[in-house]
């Protein structure tokens, strides 16, 4: 059996080994070529990646058909320049005034009605100004009359208009008419500022030899504060007589509201 078994065994020849080696070499080359080809294909997109394009879009305006290609650096925002002020050519030439409407002149002359308090205050100011002017005129007239007297300073001056004759020995009687007229003109008060017209006050006045008011006091008050204050203002206006009486004298003066308002 050994001889029969060996009879069917194929004998190896010298060329069989070379054939096997050639096949193995060819297969190895094919496999290595496939590996190299696959590697080249896999690495090619990473090596040749195209650059990324960056576009800049302004938010103020709409994007155009072809947007501009920008850079990664932020855009520098610059403040817009202020426009130069326009030259006012119309200032040199004034526009013509529109024609006045009918009735506008009448409306312009009409003034808003004054309240009672404002009206009384305005009337009070006007009356006070008129009385000051009258007082100045009375002083001037009395000065002229007293300067015309040629008697000595120690004697009594000529009595002013309205003084009673035969009483020149007393300086108070000589100046009484002037003082009463002066205080009557200097007194100012509206009848709407007091509650009653039955008011009266008595004041004592003292003048020195030079005609200066040195003292005054109320002998009897009216009980109405506004009326008493008006009397005090009138007395304080009589600070100096126009001429020197030569000696000290006192005088009583009564302020009656009804008589003062009737002047």
Q: Report pLDDT digits (tens) over 34-68.
A: 888 887 777 665 555 666 677 676 665 555 555 56
Domain of residue 239 covers 121-261
More confident residue, 202 or 89: 202
In whole angstroms, what is the distance from residue 82 CA to residue 38 CA?
66
The Cα 174–Cα 163 span in angstroms is 6
Residue 184 lies inside a defined structural domain of this protein:
yes
pLDDT band with cut points at 50, 70 and 90 for residue 150: very low
Does the residue 222 lie in any domain? yes
Three-state DSSP class for 25?
A: helix
**Position 112 in a domain:** no
| Dist. CA 145–CA 159, nearest whole Å | 9
Q: What is the pLDDT of residue 232?
A: 94
pLDDT of res. 219 = 95
Look at the chain and report how many structural domains it folds into. 1
So what's the pLDDT on residue 146?
Answer: 56
pLDDT digits (tens, 9 = 90+) for 230-259: 999 999 998 998 888 889 999 999 999 988
In this predicted structure, the answer to whether residue 130 has a pLDDT above a threshold of 80 is no
pLDDT of residue 207: 94
Whether the CA torsion 175, 221, 218, 187 is positive or negative: it is: negative
DSSP 8-state assignment for residue 240: B
Q: Is the pLDDT of residue 227 over 70?
A: yes
> What is the C-alpha to C-alpha distance for residues 216 and 228, in angstroms, rounded to an integer?
13
Q: Is residue 90 part of a domain?
A: no
The pLDDT of residue 12 is 56
Structural domain contains residue 145: yes
Beta bridge partners of 254: 202
What's the CATH code of the domain at 252?
3.30.1150
The answer, as to whether pTM is greater than 0.85, is: no
């Amino acid at each position: 059996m050994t001889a029969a078994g060996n009879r069917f065994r194929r004998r190896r020849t010298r060329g069989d080994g070379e054939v096997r080696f050639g096949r193995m070499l060819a297969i190895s080359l094919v496999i290595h070529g496939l590996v190299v080809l696959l590697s080249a294909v896999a690495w090619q997109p990473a090596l040749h990646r195209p650059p990324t394009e960056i576009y800049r879009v302004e938010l103020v305006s709409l994007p155009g058909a072809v947007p501009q290609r920008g850079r990664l650096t932020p855009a520098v925002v610059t403040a817009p320049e202020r426009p130069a002020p326009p030259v006012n050519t119309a200032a040199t030439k004034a526009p013509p005034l529109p024609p006045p409407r009918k009735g506008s002149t009448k409306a312009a002359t009409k003034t808003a009605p004054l309240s009672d308090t404002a009206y009384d205050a305005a009337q009070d100011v006007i009356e006070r100004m008129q009385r000051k002017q009258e007082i100045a005129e009375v002083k001037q007239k009395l000065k002229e009359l007293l300067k015309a007297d040629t008697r000595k300073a120690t004697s009594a001056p000529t009595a002013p208009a309205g003084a009673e004759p035969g009483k020149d020995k007393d300086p108070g009687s000589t100046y009484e008419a002037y003082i009463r007229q002066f205080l009557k003109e200097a007194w100012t008060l509206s009848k709407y500022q007091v509650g009653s017209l039955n008011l009266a006050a008595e004041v004592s006045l003292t003048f020195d030899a030079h005609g200066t008011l040195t003292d005054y006091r109320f002998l009897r008050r009216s009980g109405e504060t506004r009326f008493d204050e008006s009397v005090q203002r009138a007395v304080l206006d009589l600070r100096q007589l126009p001429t020197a009486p030569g000696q000290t004298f006192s005088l009583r003066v009564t302020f009656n509201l009804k008589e003062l308002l009737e002047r």
